[in-house]
Structure 1
Amino acid sequence: MMNLPFNGYTVLDLTRIRSGPTCVKQFADWGADVIKIEPPEDTAGYGNRDSSDFQNLHRNKRSLTLDLKTPEGQEILGKLVDRADVLVENFRPGVQRRIGVDWESLHARNPRLVLGSISGFGQTGPYAERPGFDQVAQGMGGLMSITGLPGQGPVRVGVPIADLTAGLFCAMGITMALLDRERTGQGQWVQSSLLQAQIAMLDFQATRWLIDGHVPEQAGNDHPTAVPMGVYPTSDGSMNIAVNGARMWVDFCQVIGRPDLIDDPDYCGPRERLANRDKLNALLYAITRTWTAHDLTEALLATGIPCGPINTIDKVFEDPQVQHLPVVMTVDHPKRGRQHLLGQPFQVEGMEPAIHSASPDAGQHSDEILAELGYAAGEIATLREKKVT
């Protein structure tokens, strides 16, 4: 396997559902030895192993089944902690202490260990003990109030964006902590939460309130502050068009055969177009409907105006640019055969992330990992008989 940035690092994965596995996946794909620790008998929250979702989230890992409620299980976990660089968990705050993966215990045992914790609402505070769920965070974090058509009522985003971004932010924090460890020799406790991640993703919508005192509302497919920018009908479907700035406005008006709109007092500047959005869009809809999506796309791209089709998921992966980019990677599964999985969304010159193994069966690597810790075959058999592993 190619020498990757996290080769030589060991990550202990005690995560479930999505936010934690999303975090850990970043290290697994870029070379870390990720040991997925899970109960000997699969419980709710660890997922259907045969699902496409599970297969995508848990590739590149080794699986160790371990009952952390037993003294033997705690002892094995301690030995793993002694050797590990990172431990990631997304239990509800308070659970960590009951199973011995709280920051104080881990740091005392291995001062170099980096702990990554993802929660619903933070490790402290009035909501710390609440269970976290992506859609709850979308609602509490304001996203559902600005998603959907005006007056439609709250709408969730079509992916678990709070889970995903909390995991990615935690992975970024862990990487920073590993870099800091090179300087200090000490690990750090990295904390992220669904609520924090969701609020961070509000971006300019949040600053419209924080700086301008304006509460954003639902804008549907229209951009909240720019016109024309959004979804426009054509004779054979809909497409996105993004006209941004004075030069693009001039070019756009010329492409659609309406140069008279360039200096029209209702539309001549961005403030005027925003104030008259509904009237302008009604006029533009009538024009764009006379074009095919292909022809209008080609005409606009020729002048440098951003635009493109609105694809269903199957069409996404048929797109020639998507096929050119390393978006999809493959791995052979011993039972499912060749699988297509989502690759990493960024590239580093001179190296490629590796999907070298499919999602493991529960406990598939237990014997291997225990042997690495110094357990003899007879001891491993005894642990299995006692259902510790």
Structure 2
Amino acid sequence: MNLLQGIKVIELRDEKTSLASAIFEGLGAEVTRINKGDPFLRRLLSVADLLLDATLEEKGKDEPCRINPYLTHVSITGFGLKGPKKSYLTCDLIAQAEGGALYVTGLPHKPPLKLAGKQAYRIAQLYAVVAALLGLRKRRLEGKGCFIDLSLQEAVCATLERVLVNFLREGKITKRTGHSSDENFTIMHASDGFFLVSQKWQQEVLQEWLQQEMGYKLQQKENFSEILGKWIGKTKREELFYRGQTMGFPWAPVATPYEVLSNPQLIARGFFSHSSVPYHIRSSQKSVPARPGKKKATVSQKILSGIRVLDFTRVMAGPYATRLLADFGAEVIKIQNKKTATGAEDNRSSYFQFWNRNKKSITLNMARKEAKELFLQFVAKSDIVVENFTPRVMKNWGLSYEYLTNFRPDLIMLSMTAMGQEGPFSNFTAYGPTLHALSGLTYLTSYDDKVPVGPGYAYGDVVFGLWGVIAILGALEYREKTGYGLFIDLSGLESLCLMLLPELKAASSGELKNEEDAAPYGCYPCKGEDRFCVLAIFAEDQWLRLCDLAEQESWKRDRRFADKQKRRENGALLDELLSQWTRKHEAESLVKELQGAHIPAGFVQNVRDLFYDHHLRERGFFAPFPEGGKENPFVDTYPFRIPGEEMCFRRAPALGEHNYEVFRNLLGLSAEEIKTLQEAGVIE
């Protein structure tokens, strides 16, 4: 469906903008790809709505908007266009190192490990699409375009999920944990390959089930993990997958690229025939008059002011999507109940508080008919419903999208399910690590082709959430023009597979090569405990400068290192020589020296390094949070800057904190009516 029909996008060809332009094309925009310096560029800019640009230098940033004041110009650079590191050379490896992803990925006794594929480039482009859509909406409100500065480093940092939570809320530095990206998950050997299990998930149920399978009762002194591993080692992955999912366990085979391409769920949903966006979209078929352009925004009005969102989401991906909407001005009403407000959804937990700022909380017992009736009244007064239940939940409540549009004809509804609404896996359970395993990310993120490792945090949840935001912002554009609402069926698995599509196709045909044309290219130990830097040498002049800086004239003369190909062939030897040199230096100061000599290098930062990074501080990535008090004085923001959009933050709500305000002001219930509903258990 052409959500963005009529929007004209120019991409200055670059691998840091190619995914973003493909997304806009998939959403129906008219995309023109052109090289910087093309004589037709100026003419195209004069009539364009959006420019995607990864080639910019600070001195030229104002020129496109001078040509076309109505233009939204999104710039993607390694470190943004201001700050101490703005001139640093970069690549995907450097961005992942400087952004914190490398430090937490890999085995504890080995060097940090890069996420497979160019994930820094690709996640930055998801943020770029979000920023561009916000910029286009801002243009409608204010009548002028804007320049948006986006940083690869910050895009990586923004994905760090529990790593940020642990530090900003509890002061803990998350380290590499190897095969378990989360304390609940680990990778084990099945009889026919690797398998992801959640041994702490519903552990009592799992133990009882295992006792039945093993035929005897486990003793207290026995190692449950070892017993589970023995059973899994005798069982095929397909059987484990289906039986575990039947029990509600978020288990999954660690899929190879070939297995991903033959995944029955992806095939059933036609993923490989429409693989530019991970959505199935259908219109409400109930139009209301198209909304005219809104009046010019006041100084204090935020981009999404006036948009009301009913939020049924839980844990991470959905709450991250709705948090972003709330941060940019939407009124997000989180619908909770006492039964499910536990664990990550406990309003008092650090995890909940991190992903639910700027929201309101009400409580409804949706098992009660009266609660559903109240919810329908909310729907009539809202713009968007977001939920991340399994497909059967909303249907069992009798709250299908078609039914909801009887109360709000132009309603936008986003359904975020792990596998999508239809298909053989549609009711399966998944979390970030499950999606990593099924998408091929776990298999491809490894030191070699023998043992998969996977990401060190729930990267896939942020990816999933950002695709949700893109869908909602695109749907709002569509509704503004047509008057129609939309139902968006978003698949978490497809969201992550799109971030790996080039690697999946290449690996399945045996063509997976070094993703960068660089040598040396890797991670090297430095002075101090668990300190590393990365190097990526693309050109011969960079290699010669590296030899000079290391005071190693012999490397220049060594025929084994005479050119890039030979350095790659003799990579093990060269890596050892470089490691001997880097071990003598502190990582951060060495990287400054290397970058000063125009040699691409990066400091492998842990979360504490990120927090005190002068560059990130100057760019305002970590923002003051007055409501957090002395214990939580800072929050994370986003990797882009939109002029005039000041970030303001309210703490996450207590359970049901806004019951009286919302039921009274929005539905017009009296204090006595609210009390009666509370006593009856409808409002909890």
Find out whether 1:271 has 2:568 as its counterpart: no
- Residue by residue, what CA displacement relative to the aligned partner does 1:266-307 show, whole Å, maximum 9, x if unpaired? 434433333332122123223333444355323311122232
Aligned to 1:226: 518
Aligned to 2:358: 60
Find out whether 1:174 has 2:472 as its counterpart: yes
Find out whether 1:361 has 2:659 as its counterpart: no
Aligned to 1:137: 435
Give the direction of change, closer, same or farther, for the CA distance of 1:215–1:298 in structure 2 (3 Å limit).
closer
Cα deviation, residue 177, structure 1: 0.6
- Tell me which moved more, 332-341 or 377-386: 332-341
Cα deviation, residue 358, structure 1: 0.7
What letter corresponds to residue 97 of structure 1 in structure 2?
K
Structure 2: distance between partners of 1:192 and 1:297: 41
How do residues 16-35 of structure 1 correspond to structure 2 at under 5 angstroms?
Answer: 16-35=314-333
How do residues 181-200 of structure 1 correspond to structure 2 at under 5 angstroms?
Answer: 181-200=479-498
Would you say the 8 A contact 1:225–1:274 is kept in 2?
no
Aligned to 2:543: 249
What's the Cα RMSD here?
A: 2.5
Give the direction of change, closer, same or farther, for the CA distance of 1:103–1:268 in structure 2 (3 Å limit).
farther
Would you say the 8 A contact 1:40–1:387 is kept in 2?
no
Aligned partner of 2:375 among 73, 77, 93: 77
Structure 1: distance between partners of 2:398 and 2:343: 20
Aligned partner of 1:214 among 497, 508, 511: 511
Aligned to 1:147: 445
- Tell me which moved more, 280-289 or 81-90: 280-289
Structure 2: distance between partners of 1:56 and 1:360: 11
How do residues 154-169 of structure 1 correspond to structure 2 at under 5 angstroms?
Answer: 154-169=452-467
Would you say the 8 A contact 2:544–2:556 is kept in 1?
yes
Give the direction of change, closer, same or farther, for the CA distance of 1:386–1:287 in structure 2 (3 Å limit).
same
Give the direction of change, closer, same or farther, for the CA distance of 1:262–1:110 in structure 2 (3 Å limit).
farther
What letter corresponds to residue 144 of structure 1 in structure 2?
T
Would you say the 8 A contact 2:361–2:656 is kept in 1?
yes
Give the direction of change, closer, same or farther, for the CA distance of 1:32–1:209 in structure 2 (3 Å limit).
same
Aligned to 2:424: 126
Aligned partner of 1:240 among 531, 534, 552: 534
- Residue by residue, what CA displacement relative to the aligned partner does 1:117-173 show, whole Å, maximum 9, x if unpaired? 111111111111111122111111111112232266222312111111101111111
Would you say the 8 A contact 1:240–1:310 is kept in 2?
yes
User: SS of the residue aligned with 1:109?
Assistant: coil
Cα deviation, residue 44, structure 1: 4.5
What letter corresponds to residue 272 of structure 1 in structure 2?
K
Aligned to 2:621: 327
Cα deviation, residue 328, structure 1: 1.9
TM-score using structure 1 length = 0.89
Aligned to 1:10: 308
Structure 2: distance between partners of 1:184 and 1:246: 55
Structure 1: distance between partners of 2:654 and 2:604: 38
Aligned to 2:587: 293
Give the direction of change, closer, same or farther, for the CA distance of 1:58–1:275 in structure 2 (3 Å limit).
same
Cα deviation, residue 252, structure 1: 2.2
User: SS of the residue aligned with 1:155?
Assistant: coil
Cα deviation, residue 253, structure 1: 2.8
What letter corresponds to residue 637 of structure 2 in structure 1?
G
How do residues 329-344 of structure 1 correspond to structure 2 at under 5 angstroms?
Answer: 329-333=623-627, 339-344=633-638
Would you say the 8 A contact 1:227–1:274 is kept in 2?
yes
Give the direction of change, closer, same or farther, for the CA distance of 1:292–1:379 in structure 2 (3 Å limit).
closer
What letter corresponds to residue 397 of structure 2 in structure 1?
I
User: SS of the residue aligned with 2:641?
Assistant: coil
Structure 1: distance between partners of 2:349 and 2:579: 42
Would you say the 8 A contact 2:341–2:347 is kept in 1?
no
Find out whether 1:350 has 2:652 as its counterpart: no
5+ residue gaps in structure 2? 1-298
Aligned to 1:94: 392
